[in-house]
Each structure stands twice: as C-alpha cells, then as structure tokens.
Structure 1
Amino acid sequence: MITYDSPADGAPLVRIGTPAFKAEAHQRYAELRQQGPIHRVRMADGSLGWLVVGYELAREALAHPKLSKDPEPFAEQLRASGRHILLAGSGFGGNMLMADPPEHTRLRRLVSGVFTTQAVEKLAPRMEELAHELIDAFAGQGGTDLVSSYTTPLPITVISELLGVPEQARADLLAWTRHSMGVPSEQQRAGLLALNGYLSALLDAKRRAPADDLLSRLIAVRDEDSGKLSDAELLGTAVILVVAGHETTVNLLGNAMVALLDHPEQARVLRKNPEHIPGAVEEFLRYDPPLEITPTRFATEDFELGGELIKAAETVTVALTSAGRDAPVEPGADPDQLDVLREHARHAAFGHGIHYCIGAPLARLEGSIALRILLSRLPDLAWAEPEQPVTWLPTGITRGPVSLPVTFTPTARPGSIT
C-alpha cells in the first residue's frame, strides 16, 4: 500500500521516490491513478511538489507554457524550502535540459544534427560490432550479469566514442553519472563535481588538440562565436550529453530484458520475427520506461492543471512510468500486459513538446540492435534465479534493474575452433 506523510497542515501526502515505493512502482502508481491524474506529494528529498500520473495530463504538463525547466528564477524560494538546486556552472545547469526558449532553442540547435535518424543510422555498423564483441566475451561461460556485461557497457561505449571520451575514463563516468542521477544529496553533489571537473579538463585538452568528435566540434562553435555558447553552457552541454547519452539506453535495455525474461513467450515471438523488434522497443518504452519521473518543472505563475491550482514557484514532476500504463491501447487490450507485437504503442518515455528527447533516435536504434543481436546469439536466455525478485535502482529519477543474472547454453565465439 502507498505510505502517507502528514505535513504541518495535517493533509496526508504520498511519499514517492523512496526505495520501498520504487520497488513496487507500478502498483503504487496504479493506486494513485485510481484517485486522480495529479497529486500533491512529498519527494524522496523531503520536498513537496505536484506529481502527474495520468497520460493525457502528462502530455499537457510536459508542453505547458507556464511550467519552466529553468530553476534560476526560483532559486531563492527553492533554497529557502530546503531544495537542492543545480544552477548554471554546477555541471547540470547551463544546458538545454534546464533552459526555456530562446536559450533552449539555441542550445538544442547546436547538437540536433548529430542525433537525427539519418545521422545515427551511420553508427549502426559500430553498434553491431560492439554488441557482438561484448557477447563474445561471455558467450562461452553459460551465465552472466547482463547489466555489467552488456546493457551498460554498450551504451557508454557508443556515446563515449561519439563524444571523444577516452576508454580509461568510462568506468568513472558510469559511477559519477549514477550518483548524479540520484536523490539530491552530498553523494549526488560529489558525483556532479567529479563529472564536472573531469569534463572541464577534457574540454581544455580538446581545445589544445581537437579531434574528430562531438566535443571538439562544440568547442569550435564556442571559440569561433562566443555569442553562441558560453563557458558554462559548453560544460553543461557536455555533461548532459554524457549523462543522457547513455543512462537512458542502459535502462531501456535493462527494463526490456526484465520484461522478456519475465515473459519468455514474448522473447520467442521476437526471435521468430526480428523485424518486429523496432516496434517492440516502443512497447518496452511504454511498459517500463527508463526514466521513472521527469526532472522538476517550475510554475511561472498560478494556473490550473488537472483541476488543481498550481501556485507560482511550486514544482511539478511527471511520472513517466505511470503515464505509459495509462496510455490508450487497442480496444479490449490490457495496458498492464506486455505485447511486443502491439502496433503504435503510445508512451511519454521521451517526453513531449519542445523538450522531447533529442537522443531518441540514438536510443531507439541502439535498443533495436542490442536486443536483436542478444536474442539471436543466446536463444535460451533465462533468469539464473527465477524466484529472486528484481532489485531496482533504489533512488533518483531513473528506473532500471541493478543486475540481471542470467543463464544460457554456452556457445563458442563465431569463427573459433572448438
């Protein structure tokens, strides 16, 4: 059951984002949806805010002109309420994710060309090569933890090669990113500062010795026309490209594999019909998206949302995990059931409106390739401990498994002599 807190005014508030809530997220969100599409809640960091759980209201909130992504104008009130605020220069501030037009439009335009469907398609051969290399490393063992051996290293390698991050730094990037996506805390701040410091040094190194990578191209934009990109924006853009460029796909793949391991009949359908895997990726995004909740939005003035009065400077968060299960499906279909052949699966996993995820084409392609090759190479993939419940990431805005222990029939590497 949902647990409630009682603030000073005595009104009961749902407490979300705790490990206990996240462990049973789908059940808890279903209970909230039964009571309405929006609720006053207490977040994991103790702050109060509004949580949108309904699909249609989620789309409205994600594109609402009176909800700002920029915390700067509200910094004083937010600090006074005990909120941990990430402003420009912090390593998360100064980027398109935390900006409104016209700054958002300018920052997004600088990197949008790299993430078009046509541009990311050129990365497909390298993604396939990496997927096979990773599977080769454990295929003969008969078992592995897919999170550490496959669903994590593939996305971090792809985005690192695209940005120009050296191989020896990638393990640290993973740790810093995981900390930075957690509940606001000293650990989160330490992760951000470490990530901030490393990328500042890397940008300085690339300024001295440019390479054929995205970070070098961003530096060129900054140095050729300082009006396009400030130093804080350059750093903030680098940080968000590293974090968002792999964390979403890590959890997309992890959640998809949880779903398929729990529904082996659905995995058999995809092995027999691999042409349906791109459509199945949309179903995985609906069924269990990689971001549980969105980053906070801030009300620029009083307005009504879902029948509730949102006051100026109050915060609104959208539960993407809930919205996917509330999205319309075919007549007679059950939104709580996984259907990898579902046509036109609707979801809000990549957002909606001007902040729609710029990396969506990359995540979709990477997800399709990674799942196709894994299902093909390991046809009898199964849970190593089928009675053991999945351990989910306990805090933060992301949703994904901590580990995926699996078994399979050992196979030799292609071309090897046995």
Structure 2
Amino acid sequence: MPTLPADLQDADSPDPTRPAPAAKDRPAYRPDPAGGCPHADNARLLARGAVTPVVLPGDIAGMAVLGHDALRDFLAHPDVAKGARHFTALAEGRIPEGWPLRTFATVPGMTTADGADHRRLRSLVSRAFTPRRIEALRPRVAGVVAGLLDDLAAAAEADGGVADLRRHFALPLPLRVICELLGLAAHHQAPLHRLSQQIVATDITPERALAANRELVALLSAIVADKTATPGDDLTSALIAARDEGGDRLGQAELIGTLLLLVIAGHETTLNLLTNAVRALCAHREQLAHVREGRAGWAEVVEETLRWDSPVSYFPFRYPTRDLVVDGTVIPRGTPVLAGYSAAGRDPAAHGPDAGRFDVTRTPAVKHLSLGHGAHFCLGAPLARLEATLALEALFTRFPDLDLAVPEAELPRHASFVGSSVRTLPVRLG
C-alpha cells in the first residue's frame, strides 16, 4: 500500500514529528454569509496553517482545507467521501430544512455520490463533455459571443457609454450554451439563473431557501415531463432515456439532481470566471499588453484567473470517513469540510512568494485546483475553458480600451462565500 503524504495521515497513525491538535485547539473562522472578498482572510488563515476550523451558518462546526498541497491530497484521499450519509450533524438531525448549504449536501447526483454510484452517474453525462465534443461547439460558442458583443455595445450606447458586462455578456454566454446542450427553451433561462443564484447564496433565509429549492425542482420536473413527451437530440432527452431503460442507470430523483447540477455548475462558474478575468485585466493593463504583444495567450489568462481569483471560494462538502490528520490538525470523522479553492490558488508554499500577483506569463510549478482534483474533477472544465478563452479574446479585440466604469472597491460582491465574484460589472467600452 502506498504511503500517504506526511500531512495527510490517519489520526490513529500520525506523523511522530508533527503534533496533531484537535480542531477545538484552534480559533474558528466564520465565513461571512454575505460574501465579500476572500483574499485577505485567506492570507491570514494560511499564515496559521493549511487547515482551519470554521463555523458554518447555524453554528454548525466544520473545517476548511486551504493549503494547496493539503487540499490536493485531501480531495483524492480514499477515506474522504461526498455522500451525505457521512455528514454527522445531518445524520443526527441537527441540520434543519432551509439551511442555506443543505442542497450542496443532499441533492442526488454526482456531487454527493461516491464510488460506483459516482462512476455510474458521471458516465451518463461525460460523453457530452469530451474534448472532441466540446471542440465541435467552438463555432456555435463563437457565434453566441459575437451576438452578445453587439448586445453589449447596444446596451452601452443606450446608457451613456456604460454597460453591465456581467449582465449583458458574462452571464448569457454560459447560460445560453448550457441550456442549448440540455435542450432547454430560451424562456427558461432567466428563472433558472434566478433560482440558481438563490441556491448558491449563503445569506438566504430558510424560508427563501426552501421556496427556491421547491420552485427549481418543480421547474426541472416540468421540463422533464415535456421532454419525455417530445424528446429531442439533447442531453436532457438522453438522460430521460437512461431513466426509462430501467435497471439502476438513473432514478427520477437523480435525474432532477443531475439537471440541477448541470444548470448551476454549467453557468455560474464560467460567469464568475469571465467576470473575474475582465476585472483582473482592467486592473493590470500591463498583463493585457503581454497578451497583445504575444508574450502570453488567452488560455494563459484563463488559467491565471482560475488560480489568482478562483470563481469558487469555498466549495461544500467532503467528509472524512474516519478521523484524519491533515497538516497536523485532526479532522474528525463526519465533519463537513470546505474545499478552499481561492486560498489554495494564492498559497505561497505552492505558487511561490509572488502567489498574490496576477501574472499571465507565469510558468506554474504546480497546477491550480480551482476546477477540482481527483474523481470529482469538474466535468465541464473543457467547456468553461473554451467559453472563457473565446469570450475574452473577442471582447478585448473588439473593445481594446474597455475599462471599469467604477473603482474596483465599489463593485458589490457576490452574496455567498461559495462563489467568489461581484454582482455587477459596469464598464466603458472605449
């Protein structure tokens, strides 16, 4: 059996050279449910170590793994699970209905499945996201981008030269593409995004959280009923066919959960990625010059943005199936653990002393973790990269002088400590 890294061992066989304090021996961090920029807190927490206890909404005790190496190994550890049955507080009835993070823990689908179940569910979707199939979407994505640039220009012209790039460009691109892949009608896009935002919000009340979940499940159920009656050449119809074949390929609850996952993950992450990339380039004009002068490509802009300002800050949840020592700290069995992607992206231990600097010419010593690692690596990563690369190149080619219309500090932050971005992005096209 291979030896585990020294910073990720079973609690019953800790590294004798490193103490293993219990979580209670360290001050707990309370992520702000209203969101906010995570980077200052991340730097402070990383200075104390790669793991920190956290207090989740409702005073639920958890942990966050922040350091790059510790997170990489934790994500792939065989004794770390995603299934909600391993969540001790949930099993004990201490997680109420309407808890803002409950959907992350309990939605049936790939993100809460382990082992054979995870492989079964992932295999039903993975064929739609192979690099070859995604590359075949390039002309369609480029066409959507071109049309949205026209819309962005029209919006700016109608409002004194200023337009919300997030609303008119960064949002409709991934939302339109994922809905087309799923075969969803255009009129579903607005309610799907509105409900998705409420699902990922961490400052939402229990009543609103329950209502949003019920409305989204009802909408997806109605879509499935329509597609069952009139199937098409799309991913939703393919999933319905898998459900109707019988056996154990896909249950009804898993079908709805899979669609929910694909809709939310299929556009929210890329929306934040595009928004964060534009903000970064506007704040670092010399980095934009590197791209224009050929010292870096748009793909490098995307990767550096993923590392430097991850679109997902703290992703819920994973659970040790037995007590583990991670970077010298015990994480008890059944603890809900947040994956600290934004902190890992700026970890100096992995990315060097200049980890806090946005540099598109960077030659990374290690790959960032912002799209996950191990069995649950983001299935839509090729699509997100294609969309972001094409969008950024077309945007700055057409509007080379594009810049923020308000100071960065005045941009309202995403109301969540899960997603990391801003709610609006007013720009002048120049």
The alpha-carbon distance between structure 1 residues 65 and 390, as it changes in their structure 2 partners (threshold 3 A), is: same
Query: Is contact 1:87-1:94 (8 Å) kept?
Result: no
Instruction: Report how far residue 404 of structure 1 moved.
Output: 0.7
Q: Of 183, 187, 198, which aligns to 1:168?
A: 187
TM-score using structure 1 length: 0.89
Question: In the aligned structure 1, how far is the partner of 2:101 from the partner of 2:339?
Answer: 21
Instruction: Report how far residue 75 of structure 1 moved.
Output: 6.4
* Count of residue pairs brought into register by the alignment: 398
Instruction: Report how far residue 78 of structure 1 moved.
Output: 4.9
> The residue matched to 1:102 in structure 2 has which SS?
helix
Name the counterpart of 2:166: 147
Cα RMSD (Å): 2.5
Question: In the aligned structure 2, how far is the partner of 1:349 from the partner of 1:89?
Answer: 21
Question: In the aligned structure 2, how far is the partner of 1:125 from the partner of 1:92?
Answer: 37
Report whether the alignment pairs 1:134 with 2:148: yes
Structure 2 counterparts to residues 103-142 of structure 1, below 5 A: 103-140=117-154, 141=157, 142=161
Question: In the aligned structure 1, how far is the partner of 2:284 from the partner of 2:104?
Answer: 42
Instruction: Report how far residue 291 of structure 1 moved.
Output: 0.6
Question: In the aligned structure 2, how far is the partner of 1:83 from the partner of 1:35?
Answer: 32
Q: What whole-Å deviation, never above 9, does each CA across 1:214-265 have from its counterpart, x for those lacking one?
A: 0001111111233211111111111111111111100110111111111122
Q: Which one-letter code corresponds to 1:115 in the other structure?
A: F
Report whether the alignment pairs 1:177 with 2:192: no
Name the counterpart of 1:4: none
Q: Which one-letter code corresponds to 2:130 in the other structure?
A: T
Deviates more, 1:86-95 or 1:57-66: 86-95
Q: Which one-letter code corresponds to 2:183 in the other structure?
A: G
> The residue matched to 1:139 in structure 2 has which SS?
helix
Query: Is contact 2:105-2:316 (8 Å) kept?
Result: no
Name the counterpart of 1:37: 50
Q: What whole-Å deviation, never above 9, does each CA across 1:120-166 have from its counterpart, x for those lacking one?
A: 11111111111111111232523211010100011100000010111
Deviates more, 1:160-169 or 1:321-330: 321-330
Name the counterpart of 1:335: 355
Q: Which one-letter code corresponds to 1:110 in the other structure?
A: L
Instruction: Report how far residue 46 of structure 1 moved.
Output: 2.7
Question: In the aligned structure 1, how far is the partner of 2:428 from the partner of 2:164?
Answer: 9
Q: Which one-letter code corresponds to 1:122 in the other structure?
A: A
Structure 2 counterparts to residues 50-65 of structure 1, below 5 A: 50-65=63-78
Question: In the aligned structure 2, how far is the partner of 1:91 from the partner of 1:389?
Answer: 33
Report whether the alignment pairs 1:16 with 2:31: yes
TM-score using structure 2 length: 0.87
Query: Is contact 2:51-2:327 (8 Å) kept?
Result: yes
Q: Which one-letter code corresponds to 1:324 in the other structure?
A: G
Report whether the alignment pairs 1:386 with 2:373: no
Name the counterpart of 2:177: 158
Query: Is contact 2:295-2:361 (8 Å) kept?
Result: no
Structure 2 counterparts to residues 262-301 of structure 1, below 5 A: 262-273=283-294, 276-301=297-322
Name the counterpart of 1:399: 420
> The residue matched to 2:236 in structure 1 has which SS?
helix
Higher relative contact order (CA 8 A, sep 6+): 2
Query: Is contact 1:72-1:87 (8 Å) kept?
Result: no
Name the counterpart of 2:83: 70
Structure 2 counterparts to residues 316-395 of structure 1, below 5 A: 316-326=337-347, 334-344=354-364, 346-386=367-407, 388-395=409-416
Instruction: Report how far residue 276 of structure 1 moved.
Output: 0.6
Q: Of 90, 94, 100, which aligns to 1:81?
A: 94
Question: In the aligned structure 1, how far is the partner of 2:222 from the partner of 2:103?
Answer: 14
Instruction: Report how far residue 347 of structure 1 moved.
Output: 1.0
Question: Can you give the 5+ residue segments of structure 2 that lack an aligned partner in the other structure?
Answer: 1-23
Q: What whole-Å deviation, never above 9, does each CA across 1:9-61 have from its counterpart, x for those lacking one?
A: 89742211333xx4241011100111111111112443111111111011111
Report whether the alignment pairs 1:28 with 2:41: yes
Question: In the aligned structure 1, how far is the partner of 2:63 from the partner of 2:103?
Answer: 27
Query: Is contact 1:91-1:239 (8 Å) kept?
Result: no
Q: Which one-letter code corresponds to 1:313 in the other structure?
A: G
> The residue matched to 2:297 in structure 1 has which SS?
helix
Query: Is contact 1:77-1:313 (8 Å) kept?
Result: no
The alpha-carbon distance between structure 1 residues 56 and 227, as it changes in their structure 2 partners (threshold 3 A), is: same
The alpha-carbon distance between structure 1 residues 274 and 178, as it changes in their structure 2 partners (threshold 3 A), is: farther
Question: In the aligned structure 1, how far is the partner of 2:40 from the partner of 2:104?
Answer: 36
In percent, how many aligned pairs have the same letter?
Answer: 36
Question: In the aligned structure 1, how far is the partner of 2:378 from the partner of 2:408?
Answer: 36
Name the counterpart of 1:260: 281
The alpha-carbon distance between structure 1 residues 24 and 134, as it changes in their structure 2 partners (threshold 3 A), is: closer
The alpha-carbon distance between structure 1 residues 392 and 87, as it changes in their structure 2 partners (threshold 3 A), is: closer
The alpha-carbon distance between structure 1 residues 273 and 395, as it changes in their structure 2 partners (threshold 3 A), is: same
Name the counterpart of 2:21: none
> The residue matched to 1:295 in structure 2 has which SS?
strand
